[in-house]
Structure 1
Amino acid sequence: MFSQIGGYYNGSFVPHWTYGSQVQTFRARGQHVHTYIYAQFSGRWQADQMLNYYLPRVTTPKGSIVALDVESGNPDTDSVLYALGRIKAAGYTPILYGYKNFLVNHINLQYISTQYPLWLAEYPDYSVRRYPNFGFFPSFNNVAIFQFTSTYVLGGLDGDVDLTGITNNGYTQNTNPTVTQPVNRPSNTQKQQPQPAANTYTVRYGDSWWSIANRHGMNMYTLAQINGRSISSMLYPGQTLRIRANVQTNQQSKNSGSTWRDALGDTWHKENGTFTSNTWLNLRWGARTSSSRIALLNPGSTVKYDAWSNHGGYVWVRQPRNNGYGYVVVRNAVTHQAYGSFK
């Protein structure tokens, strides 16, 4: 749930006085509440004026999202980056909201998307719409949230899809336990390998998914995946991450090649096939219902998979992707109800 703290219009402030009570009410209901600012500004001076006023008034928790709603005026790339950086420095998750057409015509959205996640809005009409129409999805790099309607209910209410799990920021901890792996002892006949990484890593100030992964010879998407997160998830100094991305590969090679145990202790079986869903399903970065979501698959979606696993009450399949693997539930392991068809 997003609550508007207020608006800024090139020097004028319009605070929303219901913001505090909204946050309090919805947090009392156990909902994840985040903040956004309607931000019509140009230049760093106006960015400072806006954030000096609103950031001290944010009542959602540290780590939660503070979004800049940039959809009018004459924004510029430098001041938008500067404002997002200030939000991050204040301890919140910065995200840029807007309509793709407006943003690409006013700022260098491609460059900004390499630094910060996007929350893009696009919908065909203003009819009441309860489910996203991905035919209107504003394809772009690093889209974390897709707003698919402004009339989720009659009278008006925005409807959004969290594509990465970013709305957990500020509210949930990493609940996946640290898994201690056995020490690898390569034989004398093996080629010299890079020094194995430690089993865990403690995040330091200034770290990013990329820097940690690069330091340990890993892919940043794989690092995020084995920790049940996405690269859009906020990192905090003192946070413990599992590393050792090569555990699954090593274990698979030691087995028959058709069955192996991954770093989380789940048994996987090699199988190539195509799954077609008959309902809405979450495609995730990890084979856990708590793992961050990559996308919401609509009925009729097809997933080409190369392995399957039965654990946690579900049957999962693994989808090879350019940046790692995606995972989706395809069957209830208890009732044996399938969520689609296989071939």
Structure 2
Amino acid sequence: MLNYYLPKVQTPKGSIVALDVESGTPSTSAIIYAMNKIKTAGYTPILYSGDSFIKAHLDYKAVLKVFPNSLWIARYPDYQVRSTERTQSLPVINGMSVVQFTSTYVAGGLDGNKDYLGVTDNGYDGTTTSSQGGTQVKTDSTTTAIKAGQQANNTPKTDIKAGDTVKVNLSATKWATGQKIASFVKGQHYKVAKVNGTRLLLAGVNSWINRSDAEILSVGQPVTTSTVVKATGTFKDGAYTITRQNSTFTAGQTLRVFAYPGVQATGAKYYKGESVVYDGYVRNGNYIYVSYKIKGGYHHYIAVRNANTRVPLGTFK
């Protein structure tokens, strides 16, 4: 897990990478091993757990011998909205650096934490100190990802252009063309292929969304509108030959999503009223399936018509 995730961390060197251990029968030696990997990668290792759990299921004192003051402990008396800690409810463990005193902070649904030692500031002062050949060297800790995020934050929605990356807001309900947005599209991010007034054409799903229903994540180089074309001919997807066709299908019932036409269900579904812009179709068995491209360049499929009776499972536009 750490081999996969540590190279992807984009916060400054020295900042916290926390291990969340709250269930099962955790191995103390495995935790120490993992925290060593975090430290070697240049980050501050912290062990997060609940007050009662860590006392009952973990030799946390062994962890503290290797990593002093490395505990982040959660303990709170109730789930009422709180903006300050209740002193008598705070955990008492030697080696704590941070306490989470509520899971429902002022706005509700946010964690509230008290940092006793300033560990949460690590890495965020614009520089980070590292040892090179016995000499302490300060380097710029502002990563490329942080700079890109700052640029995105400073870009108003009115300035979104082709090539930028946006996220579909969870509150979005309909595409700009009126069709219902599929639930599994919400929260996902897509490149903007084209801009038309207040509408953005999202690459990958090839659908128009209102600017107000998108959140800008990163600012990229403009792309030409030639990336969205009316396709003809066929393309191969594994053993299947897909006939190209660009159109919109709106489900008239709940339809399962497959990795291949009628094969390998993904667990996702299109529900009645949800729409998809597809780029091709194919017959497999008793049904006609349409294909659409997902993030990563792969295709997914849903059944749209009974191939024998020709009865559609929704409407086409």
The normalised TM-score by structure 1 is: 0.37
Higher normalized strand content (fraction of residues): 2
